[in-house]
Structures are given as C-alpha cells and as structure tokens.
Amino acid sequence: MEDTLIREGDNLDITKERRNATFRVKKLAAFIHGGEEIVRRRKEIYDAVEREPRLKNSVPIEFLAREERHEEQARRAVAMTDVATDIIDGSDMFGEGIYYQSLIMGRDLHSLSLHYSMVLPAIQNQADDEQLDEWLGPIISRSLISTYAQTELGHGTNLSKLETTATYDPKTQEFILHSPTITATKWWPGALGKSSNYAIVMAQLYTNGKWHGPHPFFVQLRDAETHMPLKGVTVGDIGPKLGINGSDNGFLRFNNFRIPRKTMFMKNAKVLPDGTYVPPKHAKLGFGAMVFVRSIMIKDQSMQLGSAITIAVRYSAIRRQGEIVPNSGEVQILDYQTQQLRLFPQISRTLAFLFAAYEVKDLYLRVTTQLQEGNTELLPELHGLSSGLKSVVSWETAQGIEQCRLACGGHGYSQASAFPEIYSYAVGGCTYEGENIVMLLQVARQAFLGLVKIVSSIRAGTAKLSLLTSYIAEKQPKTRSKFTCVENVSAEDLIADFEYAAREQIFYAYDLLKKNETLYSTPEEAWNKTGIELCKASRLHVKAFLVRNYFNYVSKCNDSEIRPILDQLGKLYALDGISGGGVWFTRRGYYSDDQMATVRQGIYSLLEKIRPNAVAIVDAFDFSDRELQSVLGRRDGNVYENLLKWAQQNPMNRSEISTAYIKHLKPMMTEGKSKL
Amino acid sequence: MEDTLIREGDNLDITKERRNATFRVKKLAAFIHGGEEIVRRRKEIYDAVEREPRLKNSVPIEFLAREERHEEQARRAVAMTDVATDIIDGSDMFGEGIYYQSLIMGRDLHSLSLHYSMVLPAIQNQADDEQLDEWLGPIISRSLISTYAQTELGHGTNLSKLETTATYDPKTQEFILHSPTITATKWWPGALGKSSNYAIVMAQLYTNGKWHGPHPFFVQLRDAETHMPLKGVTVGDIGPKLGINGSDNGFLRFNNFRIPRKTMFMKNAKVLPDGTYVPPKHAKLGFGAMVFVRSIMIKDQSMQLGSAITIAVRYSAIRRQGEIVPNSGEVQILDYQTQQLRLFPQISRTLAFLFAAYEVKDLYLRVTTQLQEGNTELLPELHGLSSGLKSVVSWETAQGIEQCRLACGGHGYSQASAFPEIYSYAVGGCTYEGENIVMLLQVARQAFLGLVKIVSSIRAGTAKLSLLTSYIAEKQPKTRSKFTCVENVSAEDLIADFEYAAREQIFYAYDLLKKNETLYSTPEEAWNKTGIELCKASRLHVKAFLVRNYFNYVSKCNDSEIRPILDQLGKLYALDGISGGGVWFTRRGYYSDDQMATVRQGIYSLLEKIRPNAVAIVDAFDFSDRELQSVLGRRDGNVYENLLKWAQQNPMNRSEISTAYIKHLKPMMTEGKSKL
C-alpha cells in the first residue's frame, strides 16, 4: 500500500475526501489486517500476481457466457496453482492463501477448488499409510482432479439418510457402488460435472449383510487417458445457478459400479478382505475440517461485504444528485443522512465480522492443539461459535451487500458495479456448509442441551460456564440499561446491553421449551414448536459475541489517530443493533422509550462523525481495483467514462446490427411498412 | 382452472396436501382474482396461448447466453404482439394485458416493451394533431421501433439537471441535439441499445438564447433501411445487468445532430418557426403516466412474490428432511415451525399487495375521470399512495422472494428453481421508476408539507383530512392496544394498532423536523437531518394503509368456506408486522411485553392453522407451470426426476468433454503424471 491513494487525474471529489481524512489510511489498514508486515506482504503478493503474465485477466468475466467462464476459471486455476509456491506461503491458507486466490479467481470457484480444500485434507486425515502413499502423490502433482461427493438430490444435511450404497463383495474383494433411486443421485459437488476424474464418494456401507452407516470411498470416475466417464458412471453438470457459474457443480450416478476394496478410506473404519467390518476407534474424527471451512467462510464473507461497501462509499462520494441547499449545486449522495444509514453500518459490520474471524481462527488453532493431545474440551465451543457466526454473518453480509447495491441506484443494478457478482456469490454462504436456520437450531440444541443440564445449576448458583456463555449465569444482571448518550456510553455498557437481550431470550426460549414439553406428545415436537424462539436466542447469543469481541479486539489499539475511528464504528455497530433489535432490548423496561430515541439520535450523530472519514476508512480495507472488479468502485473515482468504455466492450456491441433485428424485428417492420 | 389440481401420477405428498384442504381452490381463486369470470378468462387466454405454435418456448431461457436470450425475447415479443388482438382484450392492460404478457415473456423485458408502455401513451398525450397523424400509424403498425430516453449516465431522478441539449436553429428550422459531456450520455432506456430506430429524447430546450427546461423530442436514431445509426448518433447496449438481460438497455450520444422542428412534441409547449417559445398552459400534464406505471408495478410485484411462494410451498410439501419424531421417517420440511415462519407471511403479503394494487387501480380510474373534468383534488393522494406503496411493496417483495429461495436450501440456489430469475427481475423494482428511499422521502415531503399547513389545525381540532390520512388527526387515540389473543382480536383493533404506530412516528418526525429547523441553517438541511425518521414515518403510513385495505377488501367475502382462510392470513400479516415492527408498537406502553409475547404466540398458532391449507392456498393463486418456469414449483410435485432431466439438457452437457479440460486441465494432468 502506497503512502496515499491520491494520484493525478483522479476524480476531484474523491481526492478531496482523501485529503480531508483525519487519519492516515496506512495505519488503519495495518490495524485491520493484523500489522504492517501483513499489509506489506499483501502488496508484495499483489505485485507478484500483477507481474505474472499468466495471471492477467483479459476480458471482464461478466461478459463471458457460462462455458467460456468455466474455461477461463479453469485456465486461471491452473496458472494460480502452477506459480503459487513462488508467491505465497502455502501454509497460511487463512491469510495469504485466501488473499492470493481472491486476487486471481474473483468471486467464483473453479476446477480445483475442492481438490485442495476438501480432498487433500480428507486424504491426509482419513487415509491409511498405504493409501496415503498411493493417493497423495497424484493429488499434489495434479495428475488427477478430485472432488468430494456427499450431498444427494434428495438429501442434504442429514447424512444418515444418504441413499448411495457400497456393498462389499468378498468374492472379488470389491465394493459395488449403486444409486438405487433418482434421489440417490449425487448433486452439487463443485468441479464434479466436467473437471474431476476422481471423487471421494460418501456411501452407505453394507458388508456381510449388515449396514454400517455412511463411509467415504476414493473413486475413479473418468478414464485417465480419454477423460470419458467409466462404464457404470453417469456424470454431468447440474446447470446454471444464481452465481458461482464458473464452477461445474455436478451430478453423479452409479449403476452397480465395482471398485476395489482399498478405495474405502481405512485409517479409521476398515473392511477386511473377508468382509469383516472393523469400526473406528473414535467416532467424531474429521469434525475439524468442517469447522475449518466455516471459519474461513467468516473471513471470506467479511471481505465480500468489505468490497461492496468500498464500492458503494467511493461511488457515493463521486455521484452528485439533488440539492440539499437550493441553487448551490447537486450534492454528493454520501451527504444524505438516509444514504449514510444504508452504508456506514456495513463498514462496522465488515470489521466486526473480520475481528470475529480472527478470534475463530485462534480458537481453531487452540482446539487443533488440544485435539492432538486428545483433549476435546473446547471443541463444542468452537463448533457452536463457528456455526452460529456462519449463520449470522452470512445473512447480514448478504443483506448488507444488497443495501450497498440499492444505495447506488440504477448503476448498482448493472454488472459494471460488481454487486451482482458479489451478492450472488456471497449469499450462497447462507445455504452451503449448513443451511443457516439449521445451523442456528444446532447452536440452540447444543446450548440448550447444555442448558437443560446446567439450568438447575445456574439457578442453584453452582454453574461453571465458559468465557462465551458465562454471561448467561450473571448473578446480578442489570435491570436498566446505563445508556444515556452516545458520547458517554462505554463498551462495557453496550456489551451488557447485548448480553441482557441474549440472556432474556435464552431464558424465555428455555421456559417456552419446558412448557411446550408439557403440551406436545414428544420432546422433539416441543422442540419444533419452540424453533423460532430458539433461533432468536442463538442469533442474540451470536450478536452478543460479535459486540463483545469487537470491543475486545479494538482495545488492543492505543493509537490516538485511529482509535477514535474504531470506537465510532464500534458504537455504530452496537447502536444500530440495539435500534434494529427493538423489543429484545426494551423488555421489562430495560431500555425506555426515551433511551431508544436517544440511541437513534446517537446513530445520527455517529453518521455525521464518520462521514468525513468514510472514503479513507474503506480505503484502509486495502482492496485493489483488481479485486473489486467494479467500475463504480474504482480507486480513481473516474466512473462515468469507464462505464461507457465498459459498455462499449460488451459482446452485444460487437456488431451494430443484432441477430434479433435481422431475424425478427426487420421482418416485422417491413410488414408494418407494407400496411401503412 | 380445473375443479381440482390433482392428477394421476402426481407426487403423493402433494396430492395428500390437496386432499386435506378445507376449502375449494376454485372459490379462493375467484375471490383473489376478482371473480369467477376473470378466472375463466385466464383459463381461456392460457389455452389460446398454449395452442399458438409461435408462442411455444423451446428451451429453458436460463440456458441461453445473453445474445441468444435477447434474440429469443425479440422473437416472442413479435409473436405476442402479432396475435394479441385475437386472444385478449387490449383495453384491459391491468388485467388481461399483464397476464398475457407474463405467460409469454416471463420475467424479462423485450424489444417492444417501451414502444407500447411509454412511447404510445406519450404520443397520444403530448403530440399535436399533425404529429399524431404522422407518428401514430407507424407506431401501431410496428414499422418503426421506439423507446423513451430520459435518464442520463450522470442524472437519474433529477430531471432539471439533464445535460442533453436541443438548441433551435431558426435558419434551418432545426434543433441541434448534443451531448456536451460524458455524463450527458443517455443511459438505461430499454430496447435502446439494438432494437429501436426511434426514441423520445428528453433534452434541455434552448431557443433564441434562452433556456426553457427539459422537453421531449421524437427522434430517428437509425436508418430505416439499413438500421445503422445515423451520422451524429452513437448508440449501443449498456452491458449485462443483475437481471432483465433479454432487454437491450442502451446508451445514446448526440454529436450536433440536427432534427426538424416538428420532432418536438407540440401539444403543450411549442417552438414556432422563428424560434419563439410558447409555454404549455398546464404544467403538470403527463403526470398520470408515471403513476400508472407504478400502479401496474404493484400488481406485478405481488405476482412475483406469489410465484416465489407458490414454488417454495409446493417444494416444501414434497421435500423431506430430518426427523421430528425419531425413527418415524423424515418429515415434509413444511412441518418445521421455522420453515412456516419463513413462508406463510409471504402468502399474506402477496394478497395484501394484490388487494392494494386493486385499490390503487380504482383510485387511478377515479383520478383519470376527475382530471378529464379539470379536477385535480385526488391527484396528490394517488401520487403519494402509489409512490409509497411502490417502495414498501417492492422492498418486501424482494425480501420475501429471497426468503422463499433460502427456504428451499441448495436447490433454491439453482436456476432450475426460477428464484434467481424472479429475484433479479423483481428487485429491479426497488430502483426503477423512482428509487425507493427517494420515493419514501417524496411521500414524507408531500405528507409533511401538508402537515406543516394542517398541523396547527389538527392541534386546534379543525383539520379536514382525506380517507387515507384522517387517522392522523384521531382526537381520542387509544393509549393501550386492545390485543389480548389472536382468537379474539378484531380487524379494527389491528388497524388501530398500525395507525397508532404510524401516527406516533409521524408526530415524532414532525417534531424532530421542527427542532432541527432551529439547529441547522437552512430548512433543507434540517430536512436532510430528519431523513431517516421521515422515511420511517412514510413506511408506517403505508403499512397502516396495507393492513386497513386488506381487511376492507376481505370484508366483501361472506363465504364461510374461504373467509376463515382470508382472516387467518390477514391476522398473520398484521401480527407479523407488529412483531417485526418492535418498538414502534411498544412506545409509551401501547403494547406491553406480555402482549408482545402473546402476539408471537398468536403467530405460532396461525402458522399451525394455515399449515394444512398451505398448498391449496398457493394453488389458488392460479399460476400455471408455464408461468412459474420452475422445476421445484411444478404442479405435479415430481421435482427430482425433472431436476435431473433439466440438468441433463443444459448446454454444459452437450459434450462429455469440456473445452476447459482439453485446453487447460489435460495439459496440467499430463505434466503431473510426468512428475510421478
């Protein structure tokens, strides 16, 4: 990152914004990204990527038809993995890895996404030594392409109901893979459609007439030379999606397809040559990988929202529309209070989510260390936190991106803005890796199964809770919020407010659950009838974490230049949450009407304070034009001439005369003339 | 519509749902669509469309690249307008017209969209007799294609700042059209890019050295024979968008382009041969057309949400996942309380928006009649209502559609679901025809300019308000909600609750505005600093209308079979609004905590009541598979086999081997093998 983002030839409005900022962008960037050294490395990686001719992107990806886009993503993926070791520290996936990939691949997946992110770790964790020897080389050398096939057409999160079967035949020492129904068709795996010739396939294991539940197999699907599907395998692309269309998500069916015994992963469970099943020693292995993906997702989602808000703030600084003071010229739309309320909370969210991602990563590393020592103490905590955050963060990210887009009016609807790409990519996060409502119910189930056990201990005053849940057992909770005005409110008070709301709702949902257990015939039905309140409890629990974690994280910053900015954004995050959270904060008079009105006044005052620094703050997110891929969000603010250039390049303008005209409109007009 | 939607071969779950409904679908459909006769006509139109071979759609539109899609839409548009008069009553655009078009064009615009919806009415209203004679024939015979070019690259809603100039040259009796800057480029008009050879162009009129503001001109852009842009005209497509990609929205620049004097619309303002400007007699003509488009939009939005919820409810009836009672099999996901809360309020919204659309249409017709008599009394009311509704309805529709999509999990993300098409099309409504926040501020401005004048009269007890605003002056408003439980609550009480919330917020915003006027140097700045609270006031005002109008409308239904359904849906609409509206209802203790909890319990109890009829209710929206274009939403519920078929047809599966493999993946794998 340069000392300043101001260059000659920039739009004058955006330059003025940068000149008026009260802090140096470089300082805030260093704090946001975890230190000057990391910002320096980002620049180094960026420069290296820019220098590499194979990593150049020739044409805007949004101009490509789906098959062209798929091909372009494959080209980039090969180039990216070819030169990766020269450019980044491959062991730092969470940091350099994500950044490097986002510079090259944009908002899409590619032919090698699952090969690296799921198959490689699965083989490292679940293959026995012999299998490791056989499989690891080809995976790393990329002499095969593999994916992970679990979800089926009729079955998502409920693993136990998968229908694909693997039946062992001791005579030939083979498994017979079979898709007995239409709903057994494997569906969704990335890169399965056209790219992969191998897949880890989850199938119900049957041996010696007995069922042993779902197990993974490493299965060859296509011929190594011709790439044609093997006999007994039907495979293809599942068709266009809302987004992520560079990826060939696929379907897969087996018709009594035979595979050797040693294709079953055998580090844990085993099937012996005679068909004897040897169960795994530990049931919950492989759990960490899913959690890792969700942890990565939280950072990724934060960066998507960060891109969107960078684009929207920069564009709002150069767009002029309407007059606030008559005859004094059109104003920057960033000056409208309504525009500020749409945008600035997204800046706060980006940071809150990013700091949460850092915390989850740390927790993940602690858990990994613990697990190596056989200690599973923190695992449920990590599972709960990552699932809950994944839900709240992906949902608020998606909503935030759409607010950014809508705030840019008509040009936001154009793909030149990049918003359609960002939204359709990011909102997928609400669904994959665990549908959000299912996740929230899991958090609730975990918290409440815990609570069922500990609620009596809480009420007896003997509860022993973790850092994340201890507030629930607060012995003397406040009954009135201490909030008087935005200037005086402390981080502790705001955290206490969110903990109040979460605690109230957790107890409310718990009591309702107990009541419903007396009204419905099974505990499961009572659980279902409490579902909405339980989700709400999980959500508030996560939000309390986000607020607490934000202020904890920024408490590390003692720099008088940037700390006030971080405090303003933190307060905005909290007050916006309280104002939007409504009755969860006013229950039992915890917040009075007057306090609520003062919260809103506090928000308006924060919007005014943040306004002069808004452009500089989003500059500090450190997105290059290459990552943003947005005409509206250009660093230089020269939007209009580049919108025109972008439009003129688009394939519809290759010829002045369209096929639609030649084939349909011209005959119609000719006929029309003959009638005149 | 047949007597029943049940057919042999249907999915058993969906058949069971239909069998268990407590009412006849036909009856509800007749009420929803305005009578049995209208439902019968819908069927007639549907059958006629199905019979016409030129109106057949061969390949799913989502499989087409943009240029193919544009061509297919042009083909359909020509066929649709060729045979329209044989099939529909063309004078009934609001009813038969919309329906007919949606059957054929789907969720997209086309080469003739603006030719009919904007140019034709503009010519009818603003051309003088001579112009009418010259222009009407070619428009109606379709010997030319025209569009409406107003918005510019740098200028949206603020008409007075348009930059395109039309300078009169009395020597040649011509106007010189010119785009003096990049930002003066016309941008966005539908069908401008490639299809149209004429456009109504809005330009700043200069004659004899004086500026007279923006005026419309009917301008030839392309050669009538070759279709090439005329010299001095640069025109093209603006590139891909979030949705509506069958339409060639365009850009347009003029380089001192000369057009004859009589291309200026001269029914109202005139420029005489010597350059003398004759101003129009009435300033506000043409106002009705914009209002008409917004009125149509409200119905269209309601139908988009209706499609989405039809798809989501049907799919939720056939999708089974997870067990509520252990070992008793996976349940229909429609049985989850959380799923019901996502979906059923969307059913209520669809109806509330549709009934509001009917009311706006009636008001529109009354205003039109009044205007012909020179009476403009109701015009501001119509303007306010249609702007406000447009904002609230389009926003809640977009949110509702996304909830429907997310509720369908992974398959919702596939374009096979149709949700991506529905969302990207419908959400455009938040932006076009007046950006939503701008619209809400307009409603506020109008209401508050009114209020400034009448607030003293309200406080003096002498205010005279219209039907839509009289509640604001309620002399003895309730201070406590009468709500005790969902079973006993009346429509009147629920309406009173919404009026309470709206009134409180209107006065709150008004008082804040007055306070801000003392704090800021200009009234405009005070207005800006009250923007958020004013928008909230407008929103609550519109919501009060929606609730009042819903219950007024269903009060016409005395049928004991369907009235209970309509009441349940109305209560759900209101209670969901109260629960989501939070502090706006609890202010000054109007709703207590206990009442709020009871509201939530009421919602849960309504969800249970609606559950058994859910499929039948969405059936009554009367969408055919042709309109839904959704594999998930098929009438027959046979989703899975058809998902597989749909996927297999998609262009990525034309060949087993992709270009990506041949060009990029195969070389990579070959090199990988050489390293092993």
Name the DSSP letter for residue B229: B
Q: Which residue has the higher pLDDT, A381 or A589?
A: A589
Of B161, B330, B646, the CB nearest to A330: B161
pLDDT value, residue B463: 65
pLDDT value, residue A599: 97
CATH of domain A441-619: 1.20.140.10
Does residue A374 belong to the interface with chain B, where contact is any CB pair within 8 Å? Answer: no
pLDDT value, residue A455: 58
Does residue B533 belong to the interface with chain A, where contact is any CB pair within 8 Å? Answer: yes
Contact B321 A158 (CB under 8 A): yes
Cα–Cα distance between B73 and B59 in angstroms, integer? 12
Residue B4, helix vs strand vs coil: coil
Of A154, A588, A652, the CB nearest to B593: A588
Q: Which of A108, A46, A111, A107 is nearest to A75 (CA)?
A: A111
Q: Is B560 exposed, middle or buried (0-12, 13-18, 19+ CB in 10 A)?
A: exposed
pLDDT value, residue A3: 62
CATH 1.20.140.10 residue ranges of chain A are 441-619
List of chain B residues whose C-beta atoms are within 8 Å of the C-beta of residue A71: 658-660, 663-664
pLDDT in tens, A309-364: 999 999 999 999 988 777 788 999 999 999 999 999 999 999 999 999 999 999 98
Taking residue B591's Cβ as centre, other Cβ atoms within 10 Å add up to 26
Strands (E), A222-373: 233-237, 250-254, 257-260, 270-271, 277-278
Contact A666 B342 (CB under 8 A): no
CATH topology assigned to domain B116-278: Butyryl-CoA Dehydrogenase, subunit A; domain 2 (2.40.110)
pLDDT value, residue A70: 97
Of B143, B236, B431, the CB nearest to A406: B431
Q: Of the spans A277-286, A508-517, B166-175, B438-447, which averages the highest pLDDT?
A: B166-175
pLDDT in tens, A487-502: 999 999 999 999 999 9
Class of domain A116-285: mainly beta
Residue B218, helix vs strand vs coil: strand
Of A341, A524, A600, the CB nearest to B325: A524
Does residue A153 belong to the interface with chain B, where contact is any CB pair within 8 Å? Answer: yes
pLDDT value, residue B538: 92
Q: Are residues B251 and A650 in contact, defined by beta-carbon separation less than 8 angstroms?
A: no
Q: Which residue has the higher pLDDT, A90 or B176?
A: B176
Q: How far is B67 from chain A (nearest CA, A)?
A: 7
List of chain B residues whose C-beta atoms are within 8 Å of the C-beta of residue A676: 137-138, 141, 143
Q: Are residues A235 and A250 in contact, defined by beta-carbon separation less than 8 angstroms?
A: yes
Contact B658 A420 (CB under 8 A): no
pLDDT value, residue A422: 98
pLDDT value, residue A327: 79
In A450-489, the residues whose Cβ lies within 8 Å of chain B are none
Q: Are residues B502 and B540 in contact, defined by beta-carbon separation less than 8 angstroms?
A: yes
Cα–Cα distance between A376 and A448 in angstroms, integer? 19
pLDDT in tens, A567-593: 999 999 999 999 998 789 999 999 999
Q: Which residue has 């059957």 as its token pair? A: B103
Residues 6+ apart with CB under 8 A from A209: none
Question: Which amino acid belongs to residue A220?
Answer: Q
Contact B528 A666 (CB under 8 A): no
Q: How far is A610 from chain B (nearest CA, A)?
A: 15
Q: Are strands B198-207 and B146-149 parallel, antiparallel or unpaired?
A: parallel
In B245-264, the residues whose Cβ lies within 8 Å of chain A are 248, 251
Q: Are residues A447 and A384 in contact, defined by beta-carbon separation less than 8 angstroms?
A: yes
Half-sphere exposure of B261 (CA within 13 A, CB side): 17
Cα–Cα distance between B368 and B374 in angstroms, integer? 10
Does residue B323 belong to the interface with chain A, where contact is any CB pair within 8 Å? Answer: yes
DSSP A471-499: GGG-SS--SS-----TTT--HHHHHHHHH
Does residue A172 belong to the interface with chain B, where contact is any CB pair within 8 Å? Answer: no
- Residue A65 backbone dihedrals phi, psi, to 5 degrees: -70, 165
Q: How many helices (H) and strands (E) does chain A have?
A: 25, 11
Does residue B409 belong to the interface with chain A, where contact is any CB pair within 8 Å? Answer: yes
In A411-450, the residues whose Cβ lies within 8 Å of chain B are 412-416, 419-420, 423-424, 427-428, 430-432, 435-437, 441
**Mean pLDDT per 10-residue interval, chain B, length 676 residues:** 83 97 97 96 97 91 96 97 94 89 95 94 92 96 97 88 97 98 97 98 97 97 97 98 97 98 95 96 62 86 98 98 82 97 98 96 88 80 88 97 97 98 95 86 73 60 72 85 95 96 91 93 92 94 96 96 98 97 90 96 98 98 97 98 97 97 97 92
Contact B195 A587 (CB under 8 A): no
Instruction: List the single best residue of B63, B539, B631, B664 to mutate versus A (max A Cβ within 10 A).
Output: B664
Instruction: List the single best residue of B13, B109, B241 to mutate versus A (max A Cβ within 10 A).
Output: B241
Of A74, A238, A335, the CB nearest to B414: A238
Cα–Cα distance between B187 and A387 in angstroms, integer? 44
pLDDT value, residue A381: 80
Class of domain B483-619: mainly alpha
Does residue B13 belong to the interface with chain A, where contact is any CB pair within 8 Å? Answer: no
Angle in degrees, CA A402, A190, A148, rounded to 5 = 130
pLDDT value, residue A444: 80
pLDDT value, residue A370: 85
Provide the mean pLDDT of chain A. Answer: 93
Q: How far is B276 from chain A (nearest CA, A)?
A: 27
pLDDT in tens, A407-463: 999 999 999 999 999 999 999 999 888 888 888 888 887 766 565 555 556 766 666
pLDDT value, residue B284: 56
Name the DSSP letter for residue A282: -
List of chain B residues whose C-beta atoms are within 8 Å of the C-beta of residue A593: 583, 586-588
Contact B337 A531 (CB under 8 A): yes
Average pLDDT in the A361-388 region? 85
- What pLDDT band is residue A26 in, cutting at 50, 70 and 90? very high
Of A138, A242, A522, the CB nearest to B676: A138
Check whether B234 is labelled as a binding-site residue.
no
Instruction: List the single best residue of B479, B653, B654, B670 to mutate versus A (max A Cβ within 10 A).
Output: B653
CATH 2.40.110.10 residue ranges of chain B are 116-278
**What chain B residue is nearest to A240 in terms of C-alpha separation?**
B415
Does residue A185 belong to the interface with chain B, where contact is any CB pair within 8 Å? Answer: yes
pLDDT value, residue A238: 98
Residues 6+ apart with CB under 8 A from B134: none
CATH 1.20.140.10 residue ranges of chain B are 483-619
Average pLDDT in the A50-77 region? 94
Check whether A570 is labelled as a binding-site residue.
no
CATH 2.40.110.10 residue ranges of chain A are 116-285
* Prediction ipTM score: 0.96
The overall longest dimension of chain A from CA atoms, in Å, is 93
Does residue A59 belong to the interface with chain B, where contact is any CB pair within 8 Å? Answer: no
